[in-house]
Amino acid sequence: MTNLAPKIKLSNGQEMPVLGLGTWKSFESEAYQSTKNAIDIGYRHIDTAFVYENEQEVGQAVREKIAEGVIKREEIFITTKLGGIHHDPELVERAFRLSLSNLGLEYIDLYLMHLPIGQKFHNDSNVHGTLELTDVDYLDTWREMEKLVDLGLARGIGLSNFNAAQTERVLANCRIKPVVNQVECHPGFQQQKLREHAKQHGLVICAYCPLARPQPARQWPAFIYDEQAQQLAKKYGRSTAQICLRYLIQIGVVPLPKSSNKTRIEENFKVFDFELSAEDVRAMEGYQTGQRTVPFSGMSGHKYYPFNDEF
């Protein structure tokens, strides 16, 4: 019997495994193989997005594992995201159906608005859009996302890269509440205030870049490479990455580590059979630098740019 991750209950009653496979920068055959490996290892939560250009490969891997009888559709939690080029209200449902068709599934467990900022639409294949930004109000986009839940196509909807004020604006004006906010979060960028805010408002924080995209040549970040991190890892008989993921899970965050290396995908999953002491959680908190690795700086002049606020 494969060991599975525990689940966290979302505000709409859905249950989400507390750790998922991230697939940003996993291209084509890599995304396909990583997803298959992850499911075999025990992952039941896969995170993709329209802009990752790998929904087809992720979907193919999931469907093959269903066909092999390894999983049933209802046993796996699939998240994808609405790209900036599809924020215009009349484009939202079509964009969703494009993602659904890429994945080859009947429904999506969670559909996120990737950013609060819209980009000018040229065509669907211009996936990343350009820095021609639009003034589409994310509330108008959100109202169209709510209709996907009404249609039974998305089980839950949520946010990504929203700050606290923007989250509150959605909550004050929505019919269907966002269940998560997916943001950058790791020991170097802990999002403490945003996490507290999310908790007060019933949202779960999911973490992209939970290991801050390590750079071995630079021995960065410190929480993966420095002496204290090595000592902590040694104390628990784990890797520094496992310590980091365990820390995030213990503070109530759902990490989405990305890897295409089967050994690392497996290592990242082996974090449910030990617990960090309160003292070691405090030691991890000492790594906070406030430094983002993904600042979306090309959008910083936009009125909905989320990162000018403190949180």
Q: Quote the CA–CA distance of 137 and 6 in Å, as a whole number.
A: 36
Task: Give every CB contact of residue 11 below 8 A, 6+ residues apart in sequence.
Answer: 177, 179, 202, 203
Based on the residue annotation, tell me whether 138 is a catalytic residue of this protein. Answer: no
> Residues, the chain, total?
311
* 58, 23 Cβ separation under 8 angstroms: yes
The residue from 32, 43, 52, 138 that is catalytic is 52
Q: Which residues, in sequence order, are CB contacts of 239 under 8 Å at separation 6+?
A: 233, 267
Does 114 belong to an annotated binding site?
yes
- Positions annotated as catalytic residues are 52
Question: What residues form the annotated binding site for substrate?
Answer: 114
The binding site comprises 114
